[in-house]
């Protein structure tokens, strides 16, 4: 690394190493992942540089398999019900006890089999729609040579520039300007991703740490706009607490980010929030800082109150203005 780029290197205290461009630390895996997209609970692993293409193919093949299964279920129910339908002048009667036509089915198709087939059809169609939408989202960001995290960083960059009315234009450095070129950055005939996961082709006028520089600006902006709160009631750290009110229970953040346990008298530095929840870092004493990583997560709003110094400015946490 040259001296100009080395100043933008970010150090991971958990891994005790410098992070390469486009890499991020995963709290679930407890390690840094090259070109991290997200942590997927389905595969119990991170989606990143090595398996981004394989994961996207999984999102394609899973709906196709469900469509095939749904077709089999529909044809099965159609065939069996057709053999049991009795058409009259006024009504249509269904006799599920036995087939009216020969040959008899090898597998008996009674009420239990009909209910199970109908339930399986619903699961197949639901999976096709849900996973198909995820595949569409993944392909959308792949064709722009981005990851889910980088799309979020770019969106926050636009918000930061608009919020402060700066004369800046953020250019995403890894978009090659061609969807086909961006596609080939992830998918290859050999199945082995291009490059080494450390250095990436970039657009003209940018360099490897253009995205890192924007991240540092956003972190500095987050510290400026953060608000300090004092804990006034204990919180156990449960996902959906019943004792914090009905609205807090039903409006719990739909995210894998953790909740943090609070005790009365502690202080929290909130960086973003929802209507009934806040996200922030717990301010630790010097006596317990050594050997302890940051304690951050979501907590209910009605457990804390603004400190007097921050209540005067009445500064809203980042994310409250525009919830994502």
Domain assignment present for 98: no
Domain assignment present for 254: yes
Reading the chain (324 residues) residue by residue, the pLDDT tens digits are 444 556 677 888 888 888 888 999 998 888 999 999 999 988 889 999 999 999 999 999 999 999 999 999 998 888 777 766 555 555 555 555 555 555 555 666 778 888 888 999 999 999 999 999 999 999 999 999 999 999 999 999 998 898 888 888 889 999 998 999 999 999 999 888 888 888 899 988 888 888 988 988 888 888 888 899 999 999 999 988 888 899 999 999 988 788 999 999 999 999 888 899 999 999 887 645 555 567 889 999 999 999 876 555 555 444 444 443
What's the structural domain count of the chain? 2
Domain assignment present for 109: yes
Beta carbons within 8 Å of 221's beta carbon, 6+ residues apart: 160, 318
Phi, psi of 179 (to 5 degrees): -65, -35
Statement to judge: residues 53 and 65 lie in one domain: yes
Statement to judge: residues 25 and 136 lie in one domain: yes
Statement to judge: residues 203 and 234 lie in one domain: no
Domain assignment present for 100: no
Which candidate, 219, 217, 211, 307, places its Cα nearest to that of 266?
307
Statement to judge: residues 132 and 239 lie in one domain: no
Statement to judge: residues 187 and 253 lie in one domain: no
Question: What is the per-residue pLDDT for 318?
Answer: 46
Statement to judge: residues 263 and 195 lie in one domain: no
User: Where among 225, 248, 266 does a domain terminate?
Assistant: 225
Question: What is the per-residue pLDDT for 107?
Answer: 63
Question: What is the per-residue pLDDT for 92?
Answer: 54
Question: What is the per-residue pLDDT for 307?
Answer: 86
Domain assignment present for 313: no
pTM score: 0.75
User: Where among 166, 198, 225 does a domain terminate?
Assistant: 225
CATH of the domain at 249: 2.30.30.40
Statement to judge: residues 75 and 202 lie in one domain: yes
Statement to judge: residues 171 and 271 lie in one domain: no
Q: Which spans in 9-110 are helix H?
A: 52-84
Q: Give the number of other Cβ atoms within 10 Å of residue 183's Cβ.
A: 14
Domain assignment present for 267: yes
Cite the active site residues: 40
Question: What is the per-residue pLDDT for 264?
Answer: 92
84: containing domain: 1-89+105-225
The torsion angle over the Cα atoms of residues 239, 242, 246 and 252, rounded to 10 degrees, is 0
Statement to judge: residues 291 and 206 lie in one domain: no
Q: Of all helices (H) and strands (E), which one includes residue 210?
A: helix 210-225
Residues 202, 174 contacting (CB under 8 angstroms):
yes
Statement to judge: residues 1 and 40 lie in one domain: yes
Residues 45, 89 contacting (CB under 8 angstroms):
no
Domain assignment present for 311: no
Q: Read off the tokens for 301.
A: 């709003």
């Amino acid at each position: 690394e040259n001296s100009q780029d080395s100043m933008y290197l970010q150090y991971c205290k958990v891994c005790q190493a410098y992070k390469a461009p486009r890499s991020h630390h995963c709290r679930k895996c407890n390690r840094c992942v090259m070109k991290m997209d997200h942590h997927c609970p389905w595969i119990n692993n991170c989606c990143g540089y090595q398996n981004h293409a394989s994961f996207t193919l999984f999102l394609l093949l899973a709906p196709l398999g469900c469509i095939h299964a749904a077709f089999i279920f529909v044809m099965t129910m159609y065939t069996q019900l057709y053999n049991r339908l009795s058409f009259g002048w006024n009504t249509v009667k269904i006799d599920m006890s036995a087939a009216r036509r020969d040959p008899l089915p090898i597998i008996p198709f009674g009420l239990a089999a009909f209910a199970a087939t109908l339930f399986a059809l619903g699961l197949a169609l639901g999976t096709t729609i849900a996973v198909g939408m995820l595949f569409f989202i993944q392909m959308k960001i792949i064709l722009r040579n981005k990851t889910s995290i980088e799309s979020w960083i770019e969106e926050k960059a636009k918000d930061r520039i608009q919020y402060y009315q700066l004369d800046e234009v953020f250019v995403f450095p890894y978009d090659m300007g061609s969807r086909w070129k961006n596609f080939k950055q992830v998918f290859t005939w050999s199945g082995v991703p291009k490059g080494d996961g450390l250095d990436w082709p970039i657009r003209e006028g940018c360099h490897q740490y253009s995205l890192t520089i924007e991240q540092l600006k956003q972190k500095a902006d987050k510290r400026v706009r953060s608000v300090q709160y004092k804990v006034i009631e204990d919180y156990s750290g449960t996902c959906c607490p019943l004792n914090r009110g009905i609205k807090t229970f039903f409006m719990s953040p739909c995210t894998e980010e953790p909740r943090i346990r609070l005790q009365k008298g502690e202080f929290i530095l909130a960086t973003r929030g929802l209507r009934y929840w806040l996200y922030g870092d717990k301010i630790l004493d010097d006596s317990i800082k050594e050997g302890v990583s940051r304690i951050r997560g979501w907590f209910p709003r009605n457990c804390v109150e603004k400190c007097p110094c921050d209540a005067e400015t009445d500064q809203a946490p980042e994310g409250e203005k525009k919830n994502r």
